[in-house]
Structure 1
Amino acid sequence: MSWKLAGAAMVMLGATPVAAQSWAAGAPDILRFEQCLPEQMAAFEARLSALPGYGVTVPMDAFNVHWVQHCGYLAIGICDVSAETFTCQRRMREVWLARAAELRAALPAPDSVTGDLAPLYAQVYVLSEGSNAGDDCDGQSARAVTWCQAFQAVLKFEQSVWAWQVGRLAGVTGPLDWADWAELER
């Protein structure tokens, strides 16, 4: 998906964050990934429980996974101001890639999903299983490459969460303990 298309999709989805984010001076004022992701996923579950039923009439903002990326971006920013920037960002990359793989492994196969959302589920499932179309980080400085690779990893986790969300809306995946999924040290 191109950056322009992704940006347009996020604007169209029009969701607002659950908690105010701050890039005030220094990392102490930045909401941690371990707080941010569970709050955003709780908001998804709240929207889900408020729906009259599952299916194609689900409002599109219920599919918004932009806040996975947002929470990840905050975490990468915390790494940027840490004493161990490179180590921190490499570790984030490893964690997010592992979480994405774990979540994908828990998803039902697309051919087992039926109903109106089955085609969309199949598409996002394939997207979550895919790989980057190219090296977006190529030709950058070592610092930029490390940041870029961490960001690509959170995007891969985001795609897996998207597949889970569509599965949730289709009634084929259950709720998850997002505090556990957001734990970066487990």
Structure 2
Amino acid sequence: MQTGAWILPDPRPLPPDLEKFLDDGEPPVCVGFGSVRAPRDVARATIGAARALGRRVIVLRGWAGLSPADDGPDCLMIDEADQRALFPRVAAVVHHGGAGTTTAAALAGTPQVVVPQLYDQHYWARRAADLGIWIAHPPAAPTAGSLAEALGQALHPGVAARAASLAGEMRTDGAVVAAQRLIDHMAA
């Protein structure tokens, strides 16, 4: 049974330095790998790819410990942020394809480049590509060139339109649906 996403509210505001970065230009690309061991130099490769496309970059350090290639004014590194508040304000998200990050980006209607590392991330990458709402990076290690190609595809207006369309169809009441199913089962 598909219940829909199980989402808890996150009342934290975005940090002031992040708000300022977002307000100071066109929507940037965001890269983060959450708690998953990230591919070597993925932050550097994403920054290079984004710059090649004329985009700024937000690097979410996360538990993966990503770090930027440099401290240029077009790059901001933060430890973490509420993805549901951040992702609607970025041009694209480069990430590992974990269920939570994938859901947050899909709900935001934001194009994605999924660079799966293990387990269910490969499923999410394939599913996303099938839906045409983001790009699954090939299994090889990401480079600035391969990420520029993938980001170029993800930033295409048609991908953004499909991602926005899907966002409007997603359910966010998964916990309520599951609880109701349990209650109904117990009552039967």
Relative contact order (C-alpha < 8 Å, sep 6+): which is higher?
1
TM-score > 0.5, shorter chain as reference: no
